[in-house]
Structure 1
């Protein structure tokens, strides 16, 4: 009987295959909007030229106007849009997702093409368009940062609108009484904290539904400020509601950069604080222990509790911090522009900021970009109206919402809120 041949057991580990989940939303949306723009060009061709004014009279460096043939430029942008959609499809097929830079470049290309077509025969003041867009986006960015911090901590902040409005009201009154806009800004931050404290107390301590308390706070602040405006500010406008404005502070050298210099670096202290806030929130959220604790109580509060993090205290203080940021954002509506307070003057900016939080996937940088996009779309509507574009006014009013649909349809992809967002934590 022959000896059995020994069989050596294989020790090679069987590794699971990596599963790539692909989302084709981005390339499909990019292709669809490129095709829609092409259909628009076929349906309404224009043979004029469009002039882009790159410098204003006060710029140190004067750039010549850029004159572009409408149809040639627009069709070039269509072709580039199709190529970018194809590049997006390649990245999705190869790596499972489309990179953000493709979407940003696509938006720039499509905006240039649309502007060239819509302003046919006119002149587009590029610096004014960008500066106005930034101005409209600043309160949205402050509100979005407020929403990101609150929701990363696990508290849904529907009350951003109320915090912006409280900041605008308080800044106007305090700055008028003291004639010091910086004191108005500090007072606005405290007003935002006060609204946030009510939200935090009811949502965290008394476990009231966070959406309901947010809506109630918005209605309460709107009603209270409207009442005080009618009964107190209007009869005493000269002494209580004529706020001074922050002066613009040009930054040497940077403010002389063509096109972007006047837009970014000839601003008020509110805008410079916004730049700082975006950087600090992003660095703090993803690079510091504070950010780790913040994200922990929003994702898995039970696990955070087991390692000694005080979940509800962390949530409470971060909601207050977020309220201070939103309160400062409210100053844009009054002392930021030297405008008297008026009823409900925030006009839904808090809800747009909340949308930017979701569009930005609860990331400070992405939420800022979403707010800038909406600000640009709103100001584009105003700019085209001023230069006398032949585009129907009804279409102009649709622009911000078309941009919103574009973002929802293809830019953000799949969004996932923090796991414990809106869920009250009961210890034990």
Structure 2
């Protein structure tokens, strides 16, 4: 018995001795020091080296944008579903505005995908030409047989499926131009006239064209974008605050010299007075009623009463009021938090680009953050009665073709900046 056992062990030792080098080699391939233990067939199948695939852009930022777009589409449908009851929109279907808004989103996403493929060096090279194109379109829209007028304002150029608004293009192009300008003027940024005067002239030209439409809201956004980029680009702080003082004084004079702008201010201060409740304060008063009806959790999706021909422009400038009525304080808080997170994320991408010595890309990203943040701040403030009524849409959510298109293109450029940041940090080229 013992002889048989000893013979079996000897044969087993001989067999394992022949197989050991192969097993040890397999163990080394797996990154272990000894034999592979309890390896399944799936583990063996995965031994081949596979390249690690990473999405080269900020995924959380993309998903927040998609969430805001989707929520905005739902709210545009909710806010506009009753519009066909109005004789002005009698020939429209209940889904007219929702379908068009969805089409605008699709067009914007296609344009954003194309914009993402363009390197930042190309945007920098063509920034002055894009700005010149925007100025040309701002002139063209004022021509009576080309520009389309609505409610006394001539701001749109009809292009078939979309009424293009040149002021939206001007926001993007002034952003690109200001970033390129600061890169070119970096060595003279401490000298007021050489660093600031040319940009001031460009803003003055844009301002005259926008006020001729008139579109003071877009002009305010453009001024904030340009001034913000000047400040972030390193313009002397004393010069910057001097510019702020001049701009604030100019806006104050424009309000004082315009009777209907003064009435808007007075209506904002007391929208419930008999003088303004049915006039300049009508939108604001009904917006506040909508928020009041919503309370904490809202009346439920589709349950808004103010959208039933009480609140004008419920699907555009006052979409947030419908959100407040149907989703309450909770819904409004979520939207505000989403925009705060979005702007912070965009600014961090810009700071990272500047840290990587990509100054133009960094200033562009931070400029987009200023644009989205300031416009959202104005729209939210107007809807809540914290700011005078101004015709600015809620970014990514309100109905509007050219606004959605250019905002998505701007955010695609931010994702491109982030993509190039990641390439540089990995040792590649942007």
Q: Shared fold by TM > 0.5?
A: no
Q: Which has the larger radius of gyration?
A: 2
